[in-house]
Chain A
Amino acid sequence: MSHAYLAGAAKRIAQANVVILLAYVLTFVVVSILPGDPITNVLRDPQNGFGEDEIKAIIAAQGLDQPIPVQLWTSLSHFVVGDLGLSMRSSRPVATLIAEVLPSTLILSSAAFAIALLLAVTIGYGTQFVPKRLGQGLLRGFPSFFLSVPNFVIGLVLIHLFGFQLGLFRVIAPNSFWATCFAAVALGIPVSARIAEVLIANLDKESEQEYAAVARGRGLTQMRLFAKHLLKPSSLPVVTVIALAIGELLGGSLITETVFGRTGIGSLVQRAVSTQDLPVLQAVVSLAAVVFVLVNLIADLVYPLLDPRVKLVGDSRVRRTTADDSAIASSATVTS
């Protein structure tokens, strides 16, 4: 791990922090200018049955009587130290509310991610070994088919088929093992399609490269050629796709949770939106931003360690060095 890498990494981490803070501020601004006044809509809604004293206490606790910039400053300074505030509706700490539902969402999305990766790898690598006449074309068709079906449709089909027809899981117990599995399949399939598409395109590109022909000329079998030469360069770009796919998992899990009736971040958000529980909304959106930034940061930091051609530099994303650079560097006079 070189000095340049560490310097680049430090800069990238600092940038990531700035992005998270900006995302928080942006969310705050968007949430505050949403039409409708949470005080009249939620607190004074007779159905919620808050008394005048309770309303006053909540307003004071949330600082809703302060000007917006002051509210932003208070909220931001609490966020920086990890304090997400109190829910407007239940007056419980937002952190607790999230902690209650987070495990369920985490289980769902990691299972979905595992399924997506497994499917993508099977399809992608499969195209290299299944001969044309034995359905290679079918395999290649899967990703675009998967992409064209929204995940809630897949979810509904799975529920209908395996839940109602075959009775493999009980629809009223959405957190059971099998129900979780099928929810993960529904969520993972469209994500797998993106990864598989990139994998297939890269494998095709790499096997057309001159070095593949030269390696074959060295007497390598198809299996060794694939394992030693094609696997790594064609899988490397997938790291970037995975980082993006995780964002997709986040968004998709909200829909999937609704379709399968699971509790999770999705249901929490749904409730927060319908009751205009601003602190909860703010926290969930910021959490999503943190996850997204973090995953991309990891992808950026890992990539140079996997691909020797890529260097992490402070000013641009990544830099590819070429033989030309080093040839010039080695033949030009060095006068440092």
Chain B
Amino acid sequence: MAAQDRLTTSTFTRAELAAPVPLRPIPLLRVDGLSVSYGPHEVVTNVGFELGRGESLALIGESGSGKSTIARAVLRLLPSGGRATGRVAFDGQEVLGMSERGFRPLRGRAIGFVPQDPGNALNPVRTIGAQAQEAAALLDEPDKAIRKQLILETFAEVGLDNPRRVYDSYPHQLSGGMLQRVLIGLAILPRPALLVADEPTSALDVTIQKRILDLLTRLQHDLKISLLLITHDLAIAAERANSLVVLKDGVIQEAGRPASVFSSPASAYARKLRADVPALNPDRYAALRDTGFRALKTGGGDTPKIGVSAVTKTFTVDGKTLTAVDDISFTVPAGTTHALVGESGSGKTTAVRLLLGLEQPDTGTIAVAGEQITGRSPEALRAAWRHLQLVYQNPFTSLDPTWTIERLVREPLDRFNIGTSKERVARVREALADVGLGEHLLSRKPGALSGGQRQRVAIARALVLKPDVIVLDEPTSALDVSVQADIVEVLLSLQANLGLTYVFVSHDLALVRQLAHTVSVMHRGRIVEHGTVAAIFDNPQQPYTRSLLASIPSGVADPTQLPHARPRLMATAD
């Protein structure tokens, strides 16, 4: 089969050579006039780009920009109902019009695919090994033991510590970062010429994101694989790709080398996208944050708004004791934002649950506005919640889809029985106005709103009780960068106007730098470092903090990482 493939390829090349001498080699992937539609809706319009051998190209855009749809069209994995027109040439061969039977041999073997969400990309009831054998079956290696050996070698190659254990595991037994490594391993195992990676890191922590991206860049160089990278993060794209294509609503806005697109974007959209990337604009909201800094200097009144002191919480899981939060202490002055930063499993979620009184600590005390949260009865906690509200990370799941916006925002008032029904209506309108939403949305349901509008509704819902403290649990991680920038602006102006105190939980350090006044860095349940934003970001003391900071994509390519720079580097080493 492979011999046959090689034969056809070489015949084809000979035919090409017989033709008038081309000005440049045929690109590995050439997309021309590609449009994709679902029924009457066109989601991708007349898109074209070229990807050379061993090169990388990033498709950049927000949700709905059609970037993933383009990837799926190239892979011919569009969901049912999707129709693609135009030309997609892989290695000079038109693939869009090919029969399924004709295209299938290319899948996996010539074109590898790394999907977005590693948690859903492997069959949950089959072992990793069984699924890896499917990828290994493309290798024309008849001996199963040798195939297994190749799989284990590939797992080691993508940085999995214990390949044998991974081979025998089920997907739910591995973390997201490990699963993404497995998926990259499965994609590169048959040594494809092209790797399509659809947001390969958006579900991962920053440090793991950096490691995965480094891995992809290294593999691209070592194995001479071309990489089609789909991302919403301009900084990542500019750092990793040889060329960029910026998309909006299925139409190309701008394309070119990172140096030009990133440093001096010509289109308005690319400029906006660049301005919205937190990592590139740490001081974007400096003016809005000033009141908080002033409060910080004066100490924000006599007692801090939030005082957490020596809190420890352990859980028992499968007979083992896990210390989720280990002796943490921090204080937050009124009118300022304190950020809890850490990776998955660092204990920040447990810290939030303790702060809200949803869990009771084993030892230590927590006080909000001078009142103890710890050791309270459920009724007493209810009273505390009037002053302490939560905005949950995912506005797509935190709002009941069958309720109207008015009912959603009014619910806390009904629950606490505040005011007459007329006053409640007025409060709801006021809260919506505070977050910049019009009254025409009152009768809508969450399904009719965009992600950014939904998160504004969630914030309005928290605001309606006029709380002093709002806990923001990754409030923007489910949103696009430009929407994220919007929400950050809303939050900061609310703080400046109403003197709110925020506890902001995030793994996104760039965002923390834009938003917070003080920071606690959590690692394995402990606070390893804390201080003002400036102190932590400009002068980190702990290696862990430094590694977190180094993981923020800068948008500038690391010369030791980009493929074309590698040979020269190796030459000097010789």
Using a CB–CB cutoff of 8 Å, the interface residues on chain A facing chain B are 4, 208-211, 213-221, 224, 228-229, 232-233, 236, 306-309, 321-336
Contact = CB atoms under 8 A, between A and B. Distances in A.
Nearest to A336: B320
Top-6 shortest CB links A-B: A331-B345, A219-B108, A217-B113, A327-B175, A219-B107, A210-B120
Interface string B105-146: 111110111011101111111100011001100100000000
A216 B183 CA distance: 13
14 contacts: A211-B121, A213-B115, A217-B107, A217-B108, A217-B115, A232-B125, A232-B126, A308-B125, A309-B172, A323-B174, A327-B345, A329-B320, A331-B343, A336-B319
Contact of A326 (B77, B123, B130, B174): B174
Contact of A4 (B113, B318, B525): B318
Nearest to A236: B125
Most buried by B among A217, A232, A308, A324: A217
Given A233-B125, A322-B172, 5 more contacts: A209-B120, A214-B122, A214-B183, A218-B134, A308-B172
Counting contact residues on chain B (CB < 8 A from A), the size range is 35 or more
Contacts of A236: 125
B536 interface: no
Nearest to B344: A327
A208 B78 CA distance: 11
B397 to A, nearest CB: 15
B321 A335 contact: yes
Most buried by B among A216, A309, A332, A333: A332
Interface of B: 72, 75, 77, 79, 104-109, 111-113, 115-117, 119-126, 130-131, 134-135, 138, 170-176, 179, 183, 186, 314, 317-324, 326, 343-347, 524-525
Contacts of A306: 125
Contacts of B77: 213, 216-217
B75 A323 contact: no
A151 to B, nearest CB: 34
A219 B104 contact: yes
B317 to A, nearest CB: 6
A228 B524 contact: no
B170 A309 contact: yes
Given A324-B344, A328-B345, A329-B317, A211 B176 contact: no
B186 A218 contact: yes
A233 B171 CA distance: 14
A210 B115 contact: yes
Nearest to B79: A208
Nearest to B175: A327
Nearest to A234: B125
B125 A211 contact: no
Contacts of A213: 72, 77, 115
Contacts of A329: 317-318, 320, 322
B173 A217 contact: no
A332 B326 CA distance: 10
Contacts of A224: 134
A202 B174 CA distance: 25
Contact of A211 (B120, B173, B324, B524): B120
A212 B347 CA distance: 34
